[in-house]
Structure 1
Amino acid sequence: MSISISAIRREREGPMGPRRNPMFRTMLAVAVLLTAIPNLASAQSKPKGARVAVNGMQMYYEVSGKGAPLIVLHGAYMNIPSMGAIIPKLAKTHQVYALEFQGHGRTTDIDRPITYPHLADDVAAFMDAVGLKKADVFGYSMGAAAALQLAIRHPAKVDKLAVASASYDLEGLQPEFKEFIPHMKVEMFLEMPFAKEYRKLAANPDGFPELVRKLIALEKEPMAWGEQVKAMKTPVLVIVGDADVSTLEHSVSLFRLLGGGGPGDIGKPLSASRLAVLPASSHTAVITQVDLLHAFIEPFLKGVTPKGMFAAQ
């Protein structure tokens, strides 16, 4: 890491001070994560990427593996390498299309806000551009919310959907995070290690401040998708850390809106959607647990359901 955590702490304590500002500590954790994650996949051979014209931008993507198509969507401030080893792991059994969103990684930015509907429409346009009529989708964090919007806005394009650390309503965020959103400033992010990492891949190396401005605005965008989620027919795997940015109650609510949470073993079929809670896992720790994530995602995408004691053998 090119900048020590102590230096960042001295420079970016925030309005509440380092001890009283839990979200500043979260930002430091994100900085460490986004600097370290690329090393998780360093031993893997890197697939060749390409760019395609999507809604006025040049969207970068990589294709790897063979099998049924699976689109992978990264989180805010991330890119394909920072998603780590989950991509090559999934590529062992799927043809993975890993995308980089507007202004992220090697994808160009355009004069347009970053919103979840925009991100979802970009994925849909990407699928049209590369000839993908339908695919499974795995999204993390911002990519998970974009994936939910993709299934809401373009349901015919999504077969099964796995979302890790997803939110569908701002009221479901942890209180500490909601309280911190109004205090977010571009300057808080400019000395973070991932600000320098951004320059290594970016189509515009000087575009990081503008990306931060758009992502802060995204945090303030209205989000109340309960009725839209309830109307979804797409099977969804909801993955959440037990110390995630969203509350556990919010994730359970999302699962119930999707038709999950009813009793098994009483003759009724289980919901097509599923819920997985990762223990001792913060928001940034979710994406690092590759084997555990894969153990949840792969059976879901293949339609494998554990048999209960009373199931027919």
Structure 2
Amino acid sequence: MRALWTALAFALLTLFSSGACQALERWETLPEPAPMPPANESGFAKVNGIEMYYAVYGSGDPILLIHGGLGNADIWASQVATLSKTHKVIVADSRGHGRSTRNDQPFGYDLMASDYLALLDHLKIDKTALVGWSDGGIIGLDIAMNHPERLTRLYAQAANVTTDGVDPGVLTNKTFAAYIDRSGKDYARLSRTPHEYDAFLEQISHMWASQPAWTKEQLEKITVPTAIVAGDHDEAIKREHTEYMASAIPGAKLIILPDVSHFAMLQDPDGYSKSVLDFIDGK
């Protein structure tokens, strides 16, 4: 893993020491999230031996938003502002991320899916639509496979189902390196263990080395209405892998978002929210 972080640090250095003065395309930018709106309810749910931060906004049919690896719930601020006008929106920090605690249990997508199901139980939500980004999309797929009765629809953006779906070029991508750097600063600001970012990275990296590892036969058993989504300039997930996922899941809709990358919800927040609502509301 040392080589991974060294490569990302080099890419970040390159970003600020070379052509940073040149105008960037939208998919090369990493905008700051908007401020989160006031929540109807927020707190910490005790689930699976951790304390999981959550917040709830708006009213109506529920939508659960799950962020990606190293991130936190605040990345969804623009989507929360839009979606909560017509839906109850739930966000949370995954275990070890943001304000949520972690323990010595090995990270796994099945465990993280269990955390979110326990959070839904805590909130007395039997069934929800789910929007997942990156690791959040993988968690959504895990729930769709193993607990389809808990989901109405799944919008999985920038997810992968095998480790070879990750583009090795991400190791030297400037935008992704900037995200890694920002995530470290966010961790120091939000976490109860602000000086343990490296230990957290080490722990979660063991999961990324071997997971997910789902077969085509497993994907073919998904019955939840699913959208497989990617930015047309995603720097982390191979396009052919995204297309494979959409073809393997029965009835899945393939959505390619224009002029955005892995960080589509930040680069085009209005377009992203519209895409989510169009799918969730069946338009």
- Please indicate the TM-score interval, normalised by the length of the shorter structure: 0.7 to 0.9
2:239 maps to 248
Equivalent positions of 1:1-313 (< 5 A) are 14=7, 18=11, 33=30, 36-38=31-33, 40-41=34-35, 44-177=37-170, 180=171, 192-225=181-214, 226-244=216-234, 245-259=236-250, 271=251, 273-304=252-283
- Percent identity, aligned pairs only? 26
- TM-score under structure 2 normalisation? 0.82
Unaligned runs of 5+ in 2: 19-28
Provide the C-alpha distance between the structure 2 equivalents of 1:214 and 1:243, rounded to a whole number of angstroms.
29
Provide the C-alpha distance between the structure 2 equivalents of 1:222 and 1:62, rounded to a whole number of angstroms.
28
Larger radius of gyration: 1
Cα deviation code 1:137-169 (max 9, x no counterpart): 111111111111111121111111111111112
Provide the C-alpha distance between the structure 1 equivalents of 2:272 and 2:55, rounded to a whole number of angstroms.
21
Unaligned runs of 5+ in 1: 1-11, 26-31, 182-187, 260-270, 305-313
Query: Using a 3 Å threshold, how does the CA distance of structure 1 residues 249 and 193 change in structure 2: closer, same or farther?
Result: closer
Provide the C-alpha distance between the structure 1 equivalents of 2:164 and 2:185, rounded to a whole number of angstroms.
33
Cα deviation code 1:193-246 (max 9, x no counterpart): 432321221122223122111232222024331321111000111110122111
Letter in structure 2 aligned against 1:159: T
- Superposition deviation, residue 15 in structure 1: 9.5
- Superposition deviation, residue 301 in structure 1: 1.2
Letter in structure 2 aligned against 1:203: R
Number of residue pairs aligned between Structure 1 and Structure 2:
261
Provide the C-alpha distance between the structure 2 equivalents of 1:15 and 1:159, rounded to a whole number of angstroms.
38
RMSD of aligned residue pairs (Cα, Å): 2.9
Provide the C-alpha distance between the structure 1 equivalents of 2:10 and 2:192, rounded to a whole number of angstroms.
35
Query: Using a 3 Å threshold, how does the CA distance of structure 1 residues 16 and 133 change in structure 2: closer, same or farther?
Result: closer
Greater relative contact order (CA < 8 Å, ≥ 6 in sequence)? 2
Query: Using a 3 Å threshold, how does the CA distance of structure 1 residues 121 and 292 change in structure 2: closer, same or farther?
Result: same
